Amino acid sequence: MYRTYYLNGNQQTNGNYEVHHGDCYWIKNSTNLKKLGGYYTCEPAVLEAKRQYPGARINGCAYCCPHCHTS
């Protein structure tokens, strides 16, 4: 399914930043989202986030992007 993906600009306690799709429960109240664009899967969204923020530890949300969740 084609969805809009966002990077949560708030760092997680483990040091990661997480990519979420727009329907994810965990970003509903976030005020620090950076729009990454529309994609059919999480993989290109994570790659785009890493391109925009080189050196940042970025992965997918365990709930809405489990295929891209690495830690």
pLDDT tens, residue by residue, 23-43: 999 988 888 999 999 999 999
pLDDT, residue 31, reads 84
Residue 47 placed within a domain: yes
> In whole angstroms, what is the distance from residue 14 CA to residue 37 CA?
25
Q: Does the pTM of the predicted model rise above 0.75?
A: yes
Give the CA-trace dihedral at 12, 52, 40, 29, to 10 degrees: 40
What sign results for the dihedral spanned by CA atoms 11, 12, 18, 24? negative
Residue 65 placed within a domain: no
Residue 51 placed within a domain: yes
What range defines the domain where residue 40 resides?
3-55
The count of structural domains within the chain is 1
Residue 32 placed within a domain: yes
